Amino acid sequence: MHGGGKLATRLAEQMGVEQKMVDGRRITDAETLKIVTMVYAGYINKNIVARLQSHHCNAMGLCGADGDAVLAHKRAHPVLDFGFVGDVDAINTPLIKTLLESNITPVMSPITHDQQGQLLNTNADTIAQEMARGMSSDYKTELIYTFEKPGVLLDVNDETSVIPELNAGYYQQLKSKQKIFAGMLPKLDNAFTALNSGVSKVIIGQAEHLKKLISGESGTTITNE
């Protein structure tokens, strides 16, 4: 599961399409939807697939509309109009399971659909969490969120301030004091939702340190304790 928000933002700026964010989530008007579809489901998705193939990993690129992989609906909000932003209704876990059992690694971009012909921009972290929850009934599932930082930081300007372990109570304290960078909020909200829904472990950190993330030597481990 991948995103690509920074590249989408750069391309939008080059094209003169204003971008608006609310609590780390993108407002998606019609022009922005075209941009994120091109960037996520096209350029980034196919580059990841090609990189995996170069390492002899048989990968297949998908978006939520392919094979009904992710069903969603247009977000309804009492105050804000998020535009063409989708909230997940269901994950097609039989499809994902079939691919995995055929030794195909699915590479999912966060473009979903509403079954009425409308594409929607959906938060990649949310889809990853929903995917992990959906697969947890058949597999022991661990969710690893990777991004450019070494973990959840106590000070966003200090990369040595990684919080090695974060539970729900401490998270709420930091959130109330606005100590958590806005872009991290969707990841952390999804992390705790996953833990409460059958996922065995959630880790957040840098992809470059994947082995250390898996062993617990790096990143932030999210716990319910």
Strands (DSSP E) found in 30-92: 59-63, 70-74, 86-91
pLDDT, average across residues 185-191: 87
CA distances from 133 to 48, 97, 157 (A): 23, 13, 33
Residues 35 and 90 in one domain: yes
92-118 pLDDT per residue, tens: 999 999 999 999 999 999 999 999 999
Q: Would you state the pLDDT for residue 177?
A: 87
Residues 92 and 178 in one domain: no
pLDDT band at 180 (very low <50, low <70, confident <90, very high): confident
Strands 111-113 and 165-166: unpaired
Residues 23 and 61 in one domain: yes
Residues 152 and 162 in one domain: yes
Q: Helix (H, G, I), strand (E, B), or coil: what is residue 26?
A: strand
Structural domain span for residue 199: 141-225
Question: Of 84, 108, 139, which residue sits at a domain end?
Answer: 139
What total number of domains does the chain contain? 2
Separation CA 110–CA 125 (nearest Å): 9
Residues 122 and 182 in one domain: no
Put simply, whether the predicted model's pTM sits higher than 0.75 gets the answer yes
Q: Would you state the pLDDT for residue 220?
A: 94
Q: Taking a C-beta distance cutoff of 8 angstroms, is the pair 112, 63 a contact?
A: yes
Question: Of 92, 112, 139, which residue sits at a domain end?
Answer: 139
Q: Helix (H, G, I), strand (E, B), or coil: what is residue 6?
A: helix
Quickly count helices (H) and strands (E) in the chain: 8, 12
Contacts of 1 (CB under 8 A, 6+ apart): 108, 110, 124, 127, 128, 131
Separation CA 131–CA 95 (nearest Å): 11
Bridge partners (DSSP) of residue 101 are none
Q: Would you state the pLDDT for residue 181?
A: 79
12-39 pLDDT per residue, tens: 999 999 988 887 678 999 999 999 999 9
Q: Taking a C-beta distance cutoff of 8 angstroms, is the pair 116, 126 a contact?
A: no
The lowest-confidence range among 27-31, 68-72, 144-148 is 144-148
Q: Would you state the pLDDT for residue 118?
A: 97
169-208 per-residue burial string, b: 16 or more CB within 10 A, e: under 16 = eebeebeeeeebeeebbbbbbbbbbbbeeebebbbbbbee
Q: What is the CATH number of the domain that holds 63?
A: 3.40.1160.10
Residues 14 and 64 in one domain: yes
Residues 63 and 86 in one domain: yes
The lowest-confidence range among 105-114, 128-137, 171-180 is 171-180
Mean pLDDT over all residues of the chain?
92
Q: Look up residue 207 and give its DSSP letter.
A: G
Q: Helix (H, G, I), strand (E, B), or coil: what is residue 204?
A: strand
Residue 83 has pLDDT above 90, yes or no: yes
Q: Would you state the pLDDT for residue 163?
A: 94
Residues 100 and 37 in one domain: yes
Residues 134 and 196 in one domain: no
Residues 7 and 84 in one domain: yes
Q: Would you state the pLDDT for residue 84?
A: 96
Residues 70 and 82 in one domain: yes
Residues 134 and 24 in one domain: yes
Question: Of 78, 112, 139, which residue sits at a domain end?
Answer: 139
